Amino acid sequence: MVKAAAAGAAVVFAVLSVPPAAADGTDGGGAPDPLAAELGGDPAPEILEAVREGRPLVHPRVSDRFPSITADSVAGVLGEDTTTRVAVLPAVEADPDAVAEDMHEGRAEGAAVLYVWHDGGFRPHLAGRGDGAGPKGALATVGSWAAPGELLRSLAQLETVLRGDVISRAAESLADSPLHVPPCLRTDLGAARAEELADRFAAVPARVRVALLPSEAVEYESAVARRGSGNVAELVQGESDMPVIVYLVDPGGRVVSSAASGRVSNDRFGLRGDDLAGLANSVRDRDSADTTLTNLLRRLGGGDDGGSAAFDRAAEFLIYAAPFLALVGLVLVLPSRRAERD
């Protein structure tokens, strides 16, 4: 273990001892880049100690430039998790993926996350358990770049994925709100719009919970952390008595699939029990989470406004009542025509 730690420290020390990629002191766009200057000092003892003890490391030049990014703030995000090793470094010339692998030291579990300064922000590199698809899937959840002000949130979202807590977090959220949209999710929904839709879902006659989840994170959790299979909506619902609809969103913001936990009774025209799986998929708009949720609201009785909802209800009534109305018409019309002929 100590030899592996020393090897990891040697690699990172070598990385920090070389001049950064941007030798002209810019970030590639012409603006001065305070972290692209040649590094001074010898951080090797810090790195060696952090690797041995599993403590997060933030290079002093990073903290000097961004006071909110410190070893303590990173440790605060990690909480009691001692399996994830995190380092935040300035620009480097060596392969960051190789450095992350050395930080991980080939352990059977846990992960190593290396954030490296790149083009005015930090790019995450991950090494961890599972095959190559696992770490890539986890990183796809939070994106490949984080602005300095977003680094801690990016790490928090990544930690949720690495711990296999995406599904349980959704379940916790839906206990208090009818709609769950993770803050890391890239969709055409803004925070204000998501809150508005949550209020409208709370007012619909059918008591249904809805969650948007990152597809890569759910796949990673199923393959690496949870090691199980099954309907993700049923897993989110758990012991709750309220049905759940889950839409999976890919890193490009596309709504790629849907799942539902069961059926819901709809009392507008009697208890006819809509099949939620079919309903959820029928309203899915691959290119828009906003449109998908709006369509779902309309089908559940929560249209954009009173007129729209009334129109939807009237149209649905006509669809289901048409055969009955036609039969009534025949009963009324045929006797009168016989009387005319007689």
Sequential pLDDT tens for the chain (342 residues): 434 444 444 444 343 433 333 333 344 444 556 665 534 334 455 665 676 677 899 988 899 999 999 999 999 999 988 888 899 988 777 788 888 888 887 677 788 899 998 888 999 998 876 544 466 677 877 778 899 999 998 898 888 888 888 899 999 999 999 999 987 788 999 889 999 999 999 998 878 999 999 988 888 777 665 555 568 998 899 888 889 999 999 888 899 999 998 766 554 443 344 588 889 999 999 999 999 999 999 998 875 544 444 444 445 545 555 566 666 555 555 555 555 555
CA distances 302 to 30, 118, 243, 275, 292, Å, are: 51, 45, 17, 18, 13
Q: Look at residue 55 in the predicted model and tell me its pLDDT.
A: 85
Q: Look at residue 228 in the predicted model and tell me its pLDDT.
A: 53
Q: Look at residue 44 in the predicted model and tell me its pLDDT.
A: 53
Please state the length of the chain: 342
CA distances 296 to 144, 178, 195, 205, 287, Å, are: 31, 13, 16, 13, 15
Spatial separation of the C-alpha atoms in residues 217 and 223, rounded to whole Å: 10
Spatial separation of the C-alpha atoms in residues 330 and 258, rounded to whole Å: 43
Name residues whose C-beta falls within 8 Å of residue 49's C-beta, 6 or more positions apart in sequence.
55
Do 50 and 31 touch, CB atoms closer than 8 A? no
**Tokens standing for residue 278:** 């079919």
Q: Look at residue 127 in the predicted model and tell me its pLDDT.
A: 86
Mapping DSSP onto H, E and C, the string for the chain reads CHHHHHHHHHHHHHHHCCCCCCCCCECCCCCECCCCCCCCCCCHHHHHHHHHHCCCEECHHHHHHCCCCCHHHHHHHHCCCCCEEEEEECCCCCCHHHHHHHHHCCCCCCEEEEEEEECCEEEEEEEECCCCHHHHHHHHHHCCCECHHHHHHHHHHHHHHHCCCHHHHHHHHHCCCCEECCCCCCCCCCHHHHHHHHHHHHHCCCCCEEEEEEHHHHHHHHHHHCCCCCCHHHHHHCCCCCCEEEEEECCCCCEEEEEECCEECCCCCCCCCEEHHHHHHHCCCCCCHHHHHHHHHHHHCCCCCHHHHHHHHHHHHHHHHHHHHHHHHHHHHHHHHHHHHC
For the question of whether the overall pTM of this predicted structure is more than 0.95, the answer is: no
State how far Cα 250 lies from the chain centre.
9
Spatial separation of the C-alpha atoms in residues 156 and 187, rounded to whole Å: 19
β-bridge mates for residue 127, sequence order: 112
**Tokens standing for residue 20:** 């950064």
Q: Look at residue 205 in the predicted model and tell me its pLDDT.
A: 83
Spatial separation of the C-alpha atoms in residues 268 and 211, rounded to whole Å: 24
State how far Cα 144 lies from the chain centre.
14
Do 73 and 81 touch, CB atoms closer than 8 A? no
